[in-house]
Chain A
């Protein structure tokens, strides 16, 4: 029976193994394995059309996979855990004629929260977040950002153990994005697992403990943000007074000259041998910095490489046919 099943406490709040979902010939999810640790903030990153939304919908049980299996809060039948889950879909949807507090209470009621309690919590949530004046306003009279906030409150009003947010930051201004980040952190502090998808890397970098980078329906990377950044070598930026000399031979072959500086990956043997050569060759070091790549660079490199591989694969198939 849905909702009456005792909620287990698994190590992973969400698990998927060998998930496949195709629409005609197009495989939107193409053999994905995923495990979201309970109590973590987990980000699914990917470019547009990577398959993030289909993956989330499959994990939530909105659609069934063509192959593979999933568990949600340890349950292989996701709808049975509906009362413990909050979901904010990518395409926001509210009844335009419903009042803000009523809409939040309705979304809670769908997931088993008594309407009376839902109304009280809705009023409190709206008041606490500076939207007290909108409590009795119909959704159609609210701004897009406010309506989105109402929907977000509807997602958490029943105190779920797992919150799934699909592109939650899209359509929000910078201030509201900041508020949403704070809200996600607050939920995580209370032990709630937060799984969200985004194509804006900065949010994932600030919030997530673990991420999965999805491209072409497959997971191209899974691990911590630090691990993702470690996928790329640190970047060295060197500015010298001399423009040429014997020291130039010590620079790696792929070095680029750009904006009056030398740019190259940190060599395997470290920076010391290079420094030695620069000093001996009297290059005249004006500045030297070693920068760890950001998640953005890692994402572009991983997702871009995947896209390139897909394109190469497509070309190879074309050539073969």
Chain B
């Protein structure tokens, strides 16, 4: 084991230096800036599109007096509920609502006709379902008119609320889960093509003769993980500085159940295990590929598999303690995502110790499987008499 670690470190050091000292690493570090810059440039426009463009417009084809009452009531409700929560109203010429909806330039989602006392909503069945309540509310407010009371609510702030804390911690857990998932998805995929260089340059033969293949796999994972941490530290520092500069210390998300220091430590560990779990699997799969083209073809199914795992973990977070959450915590690939969310919501530490050991065992198992497949299918080792998965390499066959 010591020798495997020693050899893995030699390989990790080589890979890490090769990546860090390459010019493309600068692009790698600057990569996340592109969406930030694009987001800043188009953010305002995007928000406008979201709030304005996606709000439906309902045509009001009522007698003028009724239409005016509806519009007044709409303004009143918008003041209290916010405009994004109600459809827009626009007067439409009186006539057959079906004909109005058929006009290509009208752009009404539905048309409300009749009177305030008896509004008639015409539109597609699916739209009527969710517009019915809004139009009914506006018509009710129109009927109440000036008599609609505005009850003032007295506010009594408190320092702590268990319900609010639980909600906040759930949000922190979700945020951490999404962050770890995004980082894993962005960074672990690179491992897929990690052995291609060795295979195309025939270096794998030298490595295979000098060190156990386990060390090659482990070394590559260590190098890529270290490189990922360099990136995360770089991006994290950038985000921290930006937050401090523009938002101040009040932007800190709600404190997780285990406290920030332990939560950050667990976050780092769970990112490492999520990365090495997926990375070891990708390395094993990628090692079977003979060419870059094959690796590229593998990218899509691998990304889809990651998405499925993430959705599973996300679903489980909302049902803490349920069989689905426990299943997701036990299933090795979703376990880190579930457990970080658990750390935000639950103070117990021992489940994390168990989970970390469990995940580490699976990393070792997946590496072993990858090595076994690599020796069997790529190096063409073994053959008529299959070597066991855990049998020591090169033991006498006879």
Residues of A at the B interface (CB closer than 8 Å) are: 1-4, 17-18, 21-23, 60-70, 76-79, 82, 85, 87, 89, 91-98, 106-107, 109-112, 115, 154
Q: Among A65, A106, A154, which residue has its beta carbon within 8 angstroms of that of B397?
A: A65
Q: Return 6 A-B CB contacts under 8 Å, by A number.
A: A2-B3, A64-B383, A79-B393, A91-B202, A96-B201, A110-B210
B210 contacts A111, CB within 8 Å? yes
CB <8 Å contact, A68 and B201:
no
Asked, given contacts A69-B398, A77-B393, whether A110 binds B206 with beta carbons under 8 Å apart, the answer is yes
Shortest Cβ distance from residue B211 to the other chain A in the assembled complex, whole angstroms: 6
- Given A77-B393, A91-B202; A66-B209 close (CB under 8 Å): no
Report chain A residues within 8 Å CB of B43. Answer: none
Cβ-defined partner of B10 (8 Å) among A61, A62, A109: A109
CB distance from B290 to the nearest CB of A (A): 14
Q: Mask for B326-367, Cβ within 8 A of A = 1, else 0? A: 000000000000000000000000000000000000000000
Chain A residues within 8 Å of B4, by CB: 2
CA distance A150 to B208 in the complex (A): 19
Contact of B209 among A3, A23, A82, A92 (CB under 8 A): A82
B301 at the interface (CB under 8 A from A): no
1/0 per residue, CB under 8 A from A, across B1-39: the answer is: 111101100110010001000100000000000000000
- Of B70-78, B122-130, B384-392, the one contacting chain A is B384-392
Q: Is B303 an interface residue (CB 8 A)?
A: no
> Are B206 and A67 in contact, with the CB atoms below 8 A?
no
Do A67 and B380 touch (CB < 8 A)? Answer: no
CB <8 Å contact, A61 and B393: yes
B3 contact from A4, A17, A61, A95, Cβ within 8 A: A4
Residues of B participating in the A interface, judged by any CB pair closer than 8 Å:
1-4, 6-7, 10-11, 14, 18, 22, 197-198, 201-212, 375, 379-385, 387, 392-398
Chain B proximity of A1: nearest CB distance (Å): 6
Whether the Cβ atoms of B22 and A97 lie closer than 8 Å is yes
Residue of B nearest to A93 (CB): B202
* Inter-subunit contact A93/B204 (CB<8 Å): yes
3 residue pairs, one from A and one from B, having the closest CB atoms = A93-B202, A69-B396, A61-B394
- On whether A93 and B203 interact (CB within 8 A), knowing A66-B384, A67-B397, A111-B210, the answer reads yes
A1-B3, A67-B385, A82-B209 known; A77 vs B394 contact (CB < 8 Å) = yes
A265 to B14, CA, bound (A): 60
A23, B383: Cβ atoms under 8 Å? yes
Contacts of A95 in B (CB 8 A): 14, 18, 197, 201, 203
Chain B positions within 8 Å of A61 at CB level = 209, 393-394
Residue pair A107, B206 in contact (C-beta under 8 Å): yes
Given contacts A2-B3, A87-B209, 6 further A-B contacts (CB under 8 A): A62-B208, A77-B393, A82-B209, A85-B209, A94-B203, A95-B18
Q: Which of A63, A64, A67, A68 has the most CB of B within 10 A?
A: A64
In the complex the two chains form, is B205's CB within 8 Å of A62's CB? yes
Q: Across the interface, do B397 and A91 meet the contact criterion of CB distance under 8 Å?
A: no
Instruction: Say how far A26's CB is from chain B's closest CB, in angstroms.
Output: 11
